[in-house]
Chain A
């Protein structure tokens, strides 16, 4: 298990631990993320995920690309157990909760494992500690009156003392280059700053897996660059749902193409994102950098 937390900084990254509750006997050193036959129906009956199989190794960075509505965000929510699993259940979920609303009912069959730990209700607490989820809209994630309180929210929920939580929050803010913003209210921050506060709040929980939903969307070029560098400096496993294919090429060694709730392609980023026919068939296009490379070769 590789942690992004400030207590194991990026310089000396690999701190491998045997997960406490390995429930998947097939692997001795379980992948950071493993999904097997992951199914999900929206409450309105729409089939969002149709048997997704994927694995992300510890410390690996994987891009999750695909057109709008492919199921990328839904997949990320599943990593955290924020949506009820309904593998093998009827087409329509019997519980009419809204998409995204955490609704827990005991699940017997897991289809997602984090560090070998089943993502089921009884493991919710441990799973949420391991998986850091960064939402697309920072306003969804920043709800506290001040920045420091928001970053300390996770650590306090994990049972840390106020002193410890405050210290850790300050450390995480330093990590994202926001020293001095502690007492500012979130609505006084720029979009890029809010995004970084969100990341600090996620890092404060000490995750071993980061699930990032469109981390570079709506950022101006400078903030985008800064955010990319930040992401690259983190050593834990990353699954990055994005339309920013240039960023995917830069940050991720591997890319998974999702469309219609299914994994269409899974391979090295340059191969998946360098296949114009494949990309166009699934609502994407060749990244400009790869296009220019091709032109130059011609």
Chain B
């Protein structure tokens, strides 16, 4: 998932019935759905089918663009497919199912859970989601960290974009990706810039009377 995708997620807009629902309900329902998916025993295709129908209904109700969901799902599929292929052997031996069926089953379960979270993000702006978590009693430090992450991922991605542009402007190789040495360099540079920014952000927070306690404005 690219940062741009993240951006459209974080700034979820729209005014469907799911958008208007309290973030807490959405969060709890999504987590319950994921738990239900995880609890379905290996090979219970009918149960997964029912859950998939529920998810499909929610996707229609959310008004999310199926193409966008599909694009994200495909990206996710690569990683999970790889992991499922690695772990399926043992499961197959234990359950007596064929290796391919186990992989398919793992993929289906993971995809259902992933798509549910995507739908949740589509219908809940990030700050509402954090507000919901807060009211559900999530630790303030966790909320603050997630808030900072969402805020600064854009700043960092802008910075990354500038570094890449500057690098392209001075590289004469034409097309082709960066070598591993360049990539590791880049990660190092970004990390250091992020650390420096952290110090300035901390100073700015302290300058406005911050004493280590996050005081949310929402109830």
Asked if A and B bind, the verdict is yes
Q: Chain B at the A interface: mostly helix, strand, loop or mixed? A: helix
- B150 closest partner in A (C-beta): A145
Q: Which of A128, A148, A186, A188 contacts B209 (CB 8 A)?
A: A128
Given A143-B148, A185-B127: A149 touches B217 (CB 8 Å cut-off): yes
Q: Which of A137, A149, A205 contacts B208 (CB 8 A)?
A: A205
- Among A125-154, those with CB < 8 Å from B are 125, 128-129, 131, 133, 135, 137, 139-146, 148-149, 152-154
Given A82-B206, A125-B209, A143-B204: A100 touches B147 (CB 8 Å cut-off): no
Contact with A along B168-200 (1 / 0, CB 8 A): 000000000000000000000000000011011
Task: Provide the residues of chain B in CB contact with A154, threshold 8 Å.
Answer: 208-209
Q: B82 contacts the other chain (Cβ, under 8 Å)?
A: no
User: Shortest distance in angstroms between A3's beta carbon and chain B's nearest beta carbon?
Assistant: 16
- Among B142-164, those with CB < 8 Å from A are 147-148, 150-152, 154-155
Q: Cβ of B209 and Cβ of A82 under 8 Å apart? A: no
- A139 closest partner in B (C-beta): B155
Task: Provide the residues of chain A in CB contact with B211, threshold 8 Å.
Answer: 125, 157
Q: Cβ of A187 and Cβ of B155 under 8 Å apart? A: yes
Task: Provide the residues of chain B in CB contact with A137, threshold 8 Å.
Answer: 200
Task: Provide the residues of chain A in CB contact with B102, threshold 8 Å.
Answer: none
- Contact size class for B? 20 to 34
Q: B21 contacts the other chain (Cβ, under 8 Å)?
A: no
Q: Cβ of B206 and Cβ of A128 under 8 Å apart? A: yes
Q: B207 contacts the other chain (Cβ, under 8 Å)?
A: yes
Q: B130 contacts the other chain (Cβ, under 8 Å)?
A: yes
Given A137-B200, A140-B197: A145 touches B209 (CB 8 Å cut-off): no
Q: A172 contacts the other chain (Cβ, under 8 Å)?
A: no
User: Shortest distance in angstroms between B197's beta carbon and chain A's nearest beta carbon?
Assistant: 7
Q: Cβ of A152 and Cβ of B217 under 8 Å apart? A: yes
Q: A156 contacts the other chain (Cβ, under 8 Å)?
A: yes
Task: Provide the residues of chain B in CB contact with A101, threshold 8 Å.
Answer: 199, 202-203
Q: A98 contacts the other chain (Cβ, under 8 Å)?
A: yes
Task: Provide the residues of chain B in CB contact with A102, threshold 8 Å.
Answer: 202-203, 206
Task: Provide the residues of chain A in CB contact with B215, threshold 8 Å.
Answer: 153, 156-157
User: Shortest distance in angstroms between B135's beta carbon and chain A's nearest beta carbon?
Assistant: 14
A residues neighboring B (CB under 8 Å) = 77, 80, 82, 98-102, 125, 128-129, 131, 133, 135, 137, 139-146, 148-149, 152-154, 156-158, 162, 165-166, 185-188, 201-202, 205
